[in-house]
Amino acid sequence: MTVKNEGGLEMAYTKEDIINLIVENDVKFIRLQFTDIMGSLKNIAVTVSQLEKALNNQCMLDGSSIEGFAGIEESDMYLKPDLDTFVIFPWRPQHGKVARFICDIYTYDGKMFEGSPRYALKKVVEKAKNMGYELNIGSKCEFFLFQTDGDGQPTTIPHDKGAYLDLGPADLGENVRREICLTLEDMGYEIEESHHENAPGQHKIDFHYTEAIKAADDIMTMKLVVKTVAQRNGLFASFMPKPIGGSNGSGMHTSISMTKDGVNIFYDAKDEKGLGLSDTAYKFMAGVLAHAKGMTLITNPTTNSYKRINTGFEAPAYVAWSIANRSPLIRVSKLREGDAMVELRNPDAACNPYLQLAAIITAGLSGIEKNMQVPKLVKGDVNKLTDEERKALNIERLPRDLGEAIKEFKANEVIKEGIGKDIVQKYVAIKEQEWKNYQEEVFDWEFSRYFNIY
């Protein structure tokens, strides 16, 4: 009999498999990991003596101590390990190894916690499944490597002065990047490619496409591996969207395709527009474009995010789409016989990957449900169009700052419903406070610019 988990996916591991792997590999320590609504990885660590308790979902956490989770009156929560996420960390000692599970969160009365980002994504994936669709996600995640000082603390000095696709000696990070990729492969992940990006000290790693929940899990694991390997090499890795002014920022381009009965339904050789895209693909893109401004708070969640998407350097600021053109919000990629993917280019790696995918998929499905019509394809660099030209093409601009993004998100009922009201309420409250704190802060630039003048 085939065993399936709550997401409807076939399970690779049983409890007996896990126990055998732990014994065979001399695992002594187990981390039970989960992600909070801000996208930070959290964990509770137990020794192998507590394995049975962990596998029986009896390990607890205090939800009231996790930002955005729960109040003190409903703080007792349980961690339920997803057995398919079991992995042994390659960088730990050969004897007494450390392993991990990614966990779902349950309330004290045994129900899935509505405030869990992973659960929010599971619900959206289930909706797509009920519509007959399977989702495939590919992520391209960028990050910076910075030097550290004599005390091991991070500096703002990039690790190298390399540029796009450079190799050593200009690319001083190639050994670290190789170690990151090999570590991820040791953990069972498929990496399509990696290379030096445009900015000094900037790198990118591309994951092979996979189903949505695993894709989000993979991103969280990749961030942990990147930071761990960088630290082991005396460096500091940052996924901050725009750590260096006047230079490229770091994005997390997200590619999506859908299949039905194993067939890519974004592709259609008989496309009347001659582009090889299906009616379903056009409607999906129409939904994403229609809700792009409303979900920017999720895809670009920090004040710093808007310093990336509003300053050029190939980061999209306008709601448009094209083929083989990196200036609009959406680029159609892998357009070949039998295969087509839609790439959303504005997300950055500061986002919560579970909520990001939940928002994007929700928007795309709404386009299919409501038979939305995609706007006209844009040719050429959308950034070089005049305001009048963009207005004539009905091309809108993404929010310019976090405050505008909050307003757009609060006004978008479709995206809020997809994320879930429990998360929405807490997420908005946190971001409104963040925006207030940002507006009240006096920055070094302001001080250096105005102090002596006035």
Distance in angstroms (rounded) separating the CA atoms of residues 120 and 212:
12
- In sequence order, what E strands does 185-267 have? 191-196, 202-207, 235-238, 252-260, 263-264
pLDDT digits (tens, 9 = 90+) for 143-190: 999 999 999 999 999 999 988 888 888 888 899 999 999 999 999 999
**Centroid of chain to Cα 12:** 24
What is residue 137's predicted lDDT score, i.e. its pLDDT? 96
pLDDT digits (tens, 9 = 90+) for 327-377: 899 999 766 777 889 999 999 999 999 999 999 999 999 999 999 999 999
pTM assigned to the model: 0.93
Region 423-434 average pLDDT: 96
Using an 8 Å Cβ cutoff, are 295 and 405 in contact?
A: no
Give 314's pLDDT tier (boundaries 50, 70, 90): confident
CATH classification number, 124-424, choose in 3.40.250.10, 3.30.590.10, 3.40.50.11540, 3.40.50.920: 3.30.590.10
Give 418's pLDDT tier (boundaries 50, 70, 90): very high
In 3D space, the residue among 416, 189, 438, 417 whose CA is nearest the CA of residue 304 turns out to be 438
pLDDT at 7 over 80: no
pLDDT digits (tens, 9 = 90+) for 28-50: 999 999 999 999 999 999 999 99
Distance in angstroms (rounded) separating the CA atoms of residues 70 and 77:
9
Give CA torsion, residues 104, 107, 110, 111, to 10 deg.
-70
Region 307-316 average pLDDT: 84
**Backbone CA torsion sign across 206, 207, 208, 210:** negative
pLDDT digits (tens, 9 = 90+) for 238-273: 999 999 988 899 999 999 999 999 999 999 999 988
For the chain, what are the domain ranges? 21-113, 124-424
Mean pLDDT of the chain, nearest integer: 91
pLDDT at 73 over 70: no
In 3D space, the residue among 303, 308, 407, 290 whose CA is nearest the CA of residue 359 turns out to be 290
In CATH terms, the fold of domain 21-113 is Ubiquitin-like (UB roll) (3.10.20)
Return the ∠ at Cα 102 (arms to 243 and 49), rounded to 5°.
125
Distance in angstroms (rounded) separating the CA atoms of residues 59 and 31:
11
Angle subtended by helix axes 212-232 and 174-186, to nearest 10: 130
Give 322's pLDDT tier (boundaries 50, 70, 90): very high
pLDDT digits (tens, 9 = 90+) for 403-413: 999 999 999 99
What is residue 400's predicted lDDT score, i.e. its pLDDT? 96
Higher pLDDT, 421 or 93: 421
Task: Compute CA distances 348 → 212, 219, 296, 402, 413, whole Å.
Answer: 17, 12, 10, 14, 23
